Structure 1
Amino acid sequence: MKNDKGILLESGTNELEIVEFSIGDNKFGINVIKVKEIINPVSIIQIPHSHPNVEGIMELRGEVLPVVNLAKSLGFAPSYTPEKDKFIVSEFNKMKIIFHVHNVSQIHRISWEDIEKPSDMYQGSDSQIIGVIKLNGEMILLLDFEKIVVEINPNSGINIQQVKKLGRRERSYKRLVVVEDSPLLRKLLLDTLTEAGFNQIELFENGLEALNFLQKTTIEGRRVEDVVDLIITDIEMPQMDGHHFTKRIKEDAALAHLPVVIFSSLITDDLRHKGQRVGADAQASKPEIAELIQLIDGLIG
């Protein structure tokens, strides 16, 4: 696997590196940050009555990890060149998962501005695509790995029961801006935040849309604090990612006072410094919705 650029060390550049891989003749991408390593396939143990997209489990350096057949998850045929198959060992949402793919080619460094949002014409509500990258005359599809995992194990996603355990609290006057590109997670966030008592929520699909909304508010002469009390943002989003979005807010004198909470599958001990560098007031890892709500209460209680 070729990597000419090196792993991104900066924060807030609105750039990312993706590992390009293939399923059949189709090219896909996964954020390098989610990838721990890439290995050749090894023997796995099948689990009776497991989800059809789960091939089984394998041991890797003392850890027992599930192996997900990505071709089956996406509805594609099995590999016709199994000798080229690879296992992508990934970590996100506080989980380690191995994805079985047909080939891995190279790493690309690109800007989130160059990633197009999927069109409603072909995306559909069940789509697992969060972005389309046009590169060297080809298209690379950026996958929603969180959705793929939640479809296998719904308990790995945002759980409204966590919110109910917190108990009721008056939150209806608090105004939130929520920035999340995944349709599935936007709905889950809306449902769980509503259950927690928030009923003034503005939803946006990426940082650029949300930033335009906030800046338009100030241009129109309204006080931004009359429109929003706190911002919740994902990291991985087409057009403008959450780190760059946070940086732009904190560099804008009219917006800098707004608390920003980053809520992402990429929040780990090793990567938390990226959010801190761009000025995030707090960070929580998906799917810990109860922790997110407690952070909100602490910032605008």
Structure 2
Amino acid sequence: MDQRKGILLESGTNELEIVEFSIGKNKFGINVIKVKEIINPVQVIPIPHSHRNIDGIIELRGEVLPVVNVAASLGMQSSENPQQDKFIVTEFNQQKVVFHVHGVSQIHRISWNQIEKPSEMYQGPDTQVIGVIKLQGEMVLLLDFEKMVTEINPDSGISIQKVQKLGKRERSDTRLVVAEDSPLLRKLLHDTLNEAGFSNIEFFENGQEAYGYLESLAQSGCSISQEVQLIITDIEMPQMDGHHLTKKVKEHPQLSAIPIIIFSSLITDDLRHKGKMVGADAQVSKPEIAELVLLIDQYA
């Protein structure tokens, strides 16, 4: 797994690898960069009065980790063959979480532009699906694992309270561009950045839409520095990821001077290297919104 990650980290392309897993007959995916290892189920210790989506806790090499039941999170049936289930051990948002799934099949390497945004017709407000991938005549649904964890533990997400601890702040005229695919996080970022004094924000659902907007500004002949003072981008997004967006902006003669902050659950030592490689000015791990605000002050 680590060797495969290393190959991806050096690629510099708009690509990712996903681990395909199943819940019942449905196929789902998780970014391989989030995955530490995949193990057979071990003894789970139930925790009284815990969240309904938590199976309990396990001990793995001296660490006590929570086990999230993905089927329960998705409102689906329990496994018919629990002895064949798998535990996916993950790390993101500066925490380790185990996801209980019904089976793991294979790893696919794909481009972000193969991932389609879910249609609003079937995407309700509580959906966990952030992308649809067509593979070998089947559909694999990419899930929002950050949302799963935040629904269980709201304190693990972005909160206005973290910004309020910075104290009273003046209103800012700074113009921001934000690329973030999660509707939940776009709303949270809107509210927290407004609380921090930033109200001139253009939100985009993926890197491709954000780049299209920036490129249209460059082609219009306007002063880029007056229209956009800073870009904030997630990494995982359909169509174009944040690393590819950063690379394209930094290679564009009229856009390259705009500071870019990568704000992602995937900020690790290895991914900081990749962010630096494509020219990011700063990188912050979700949900450290207060640190993001201080960096906006610094770079904008």
User: Do both proteins adopt the same fold according to a TM-score greater than 0.5, normalized to the shorter chain?
Assistant: yes
Q: What is residue 113 of structure 1 aligned with on the other side?
A: 113
Q: What is residue 70 of structure 1 aligned with on the other side?
A: 70
The answer to whether structure 1 residue 209 and structure 2 residue 209 are counterparts is yes
Give TM-score scaled by structure 2 length. 0.97
Q: Which amino acid aligns with 2:291?
A: E
Large movers: runs of 4+ above 4 Å: 3-7
TM-aligned CA deviation for residue 51 of structure 1: 0.1
The answer to whether structure 1 residue 98 and structure 2 residue 98 are counterparts is yes
CA distance in 2, matches of 1:77, 1:282: 43
TM-aligned CA deviation for residue 167 of structure 1: 1.4
Q: What is residue 269 of structure 1 aligned with on the other side?
A: 269
Partner secondary structure for residue 271 of structure 1? helix
CA distance in 1, matches of 2:207, 2:82: 40
Count matched residues.
299
Give TM-score scaled by structure 1 length. 0.97
TM-aligned CA deviation for residue 232 of structure 1: 0.2
CA distance in 1, matches of 2:216, 2:256: 15
Q: 5 Å matches for 1:38-77?
A: 38-77=38-77
CA distance in 2, matches of 1:118, 1:221: 34
**1:15-53: CA deviations, max 9, x gaps?**
000000000000000000000000000111110000000
CA distance in 2, matches of 1:5, 1:270: 9
CA distance in 2, matches of 1:28, 1:152: 20
Tell whether the 8 Å contact from 1:176 to 1:201 is kept in structure 2 after alignment.
yes
Q: CA RMSD in A?
A: 1.5
CA distance in 2, matches of 1:265, 1:11: 20
Q: What is residue 239 of structure 1 aligned with on the other side?
A: 239
Tell whether the 8 Å contact from 1:11 to 1:275 is kept in structure 2 after alignment.
no
Q: What is residue 254 of structure 2 aligned with on the other side?
A: 254
Query: 5+ residue gaps in structure 2?
Result: none
Tell whether the 8 Å contact from 2:41 to 2:86 is kept in structure 1 after alignment.
yes
Q: What percentage of residue pairs aligned between the two structures are identical?
A: 72
TM-aligned CA deviation for residue 11 of structure 1: 4.8
The answer to whether structure 1 residue 10 and structure 2 residue 10 are counterparts is yes
Partner secondary structure for residue 139 of structure 1? strand
Q: Which amino acid aligns with 1:259?
A: P
Q: What is residue 227 of structure 1 aligned with on the other side?
A: 227
TM-aligned CA deviation for residue 171 of structure 1: 4.1
TM-aligned CA deviation for residue 268 of structure 1: 1.3
Q: 5 Å matches for 1:121-270?
A: 121-270=121-270
Tell whether the 8 Å contact from 1:234 to 1:242 is kept in structure 2 after alignment.
yes
Q: Which amino acid aligns with 1:257?
A: A
